[in-house]
Amino acid sequence: MGKKILLISDIPGYGKVGAMAMIPALSFMGYRCYNLPTLLVSNTLDYGDFAMMDTTDYMEKTIEVWDRLDFDFDCICTGLLSSPRQVDLVLNYIKKWKKKGRTVLVDPVMGDHGSLYHGVGQEMVAAMTKMAQVADYFIPNGTESHLMTQEAGLAEGDWAHPSIDPLRQLGAKSVLITSGLQDQDDPVIRGYDAREDRYFDLAYTRVPVSFPGTGDLFSAILIGLVLQGHCLEDAAKKASKAIHAMMESYQKTSDPFHGIPIEQCSDLLLKSI
């Protein structure tokens, strides 16, 4: 029976981001997925019109129920969190599982392309920085990496050329920065594998289209491969290959705001990993 993965992230009613991007991929890979929604969203934000509902109160009650029922998970993955209060709730919940040796992946979703997402305040940067303390795998993009290390007074370089070591100083074990640039401004995934005590860079080719949810999908495939025993570099290489294949296949879609239709991509995913 497959390992049990808890996804703590947003859930859209329409579109493939957050947990709705991760669940199909992990299910294809043989995992049992569970979710603790941090935010209910009517649709992906790219459409420009949306409704949201914060679920922090529901999360608190759910955690109390799950504790009474003694539910167990092999791995916890966190994505979009909506407030510092929610960060503290999730952080305390994860600390309990860390004592039991469970694997934790943290994707500190806050911004991209050098700035915070709309509606995300500087207080979230300080709050999210604390999540590094419990992360076996810490997966920020270049912008998020720079914002957090800048908040902690550890920043090196700029958001487009982030460094690994300041994130390790925040407490993260293995680190993967998903959207940096090399010296020639070629895109690169920059990583450090704590199990192998090794740094690495993975160059990749951009696809001329943008889909929401590709970061969530990347995290799902990555942790799925890591739990199968792949080293971080190999997992990142395969996850990147899978995302690239899916984006290429659907780059001419009439509705990129929906995100990648993952259920139709099982063959591309399985071929890539």
Among 60, 80, 61, residue whose Cα is nearest residue 17 = 80
**Rounded-to-10 torsion of CA 246, 239, 101, 93:** -40
Q: pLDDT tens digits, residue range 227-254?
A: 999 999 999 999 999 999 999 999 989 9
Residue 1: which pLDDT band, with cuts at 50, 70 and 90? confident
Residues 76-83: what's their mean pLDDT?
97
For the chain, percent of residues with pLDDT exceeding 70: 96
Look up residue 15 and give its DSSP letter: S
Looking at the predicted structure, is the pLDDT value of residue 67 above 70? Answer: yes
Average pLDDT of the chain, as a whole number: 93
At residue 183, the pLDDT reads 58
Task: Please tell me the least confidently modeled range out of 180-184, 185-189, 256-260.
Answer: 180-184
Residue 116 and residue 109: Cα distance in Å, rounded? 9
Q: Considering only the top CATH level, what class is 4-272?
A: alpha beta
Which of 57-61, 135-139, 160-164, 214-218 is the least confident region? 160-164
Give the pLDDT score at 263. Answer: 93
Residue 156, pLDDT score: 65
Annotated domain spans of the chain? 4-272
The pTM is what? 0.94
Banded model confidence at residue 272, pLDDT cuts 50, 70, 90:
confident
pLDDT band at 182 (very low <50, low <70, confident <90, very high): low
How does pLDDT run across 198-211, given as a tens digit for each residue?
Answer: 999 998 888 888 99
pLDDT band per the 50, 70, 90 thresholds, residue 273: confident
Cα–Cα nearest to 63, from 23, 41, 34: 34
Mean pLDDT of the region 152-175: 84
User: What number of other Cβ atoms are within 10 A of residue 112's Cβ?
Assistant: 16
Name residue, tokens 């992360």.
135
Sheet with strand 103-106: strands edge to edge: 32-35, 4-8, 75-78, 103-106, 137-138, 174-181, 187-193, 198-203
Structure tokens at 2: 């497959």
CB of 170 closer than 8 Å to CB of 186: no
Q: What is the DSSP string of 102-161?
A: -EEEE----EETTEEPTT--HHHHHHHHGGGGG-SEE---HHHHHHHHHHTT---S-TTS
Three-state SS letters, 208-250:
CCCCCCHHHHHHHHHHHHHHCCCCHHHHHHHHHHHHHHHHHHC
Give the residue-averaged pLDDT of 13-40.
Answer: 98
pLDDT at 184 over 70: no
- pLDDT confidence of residue 199: 96
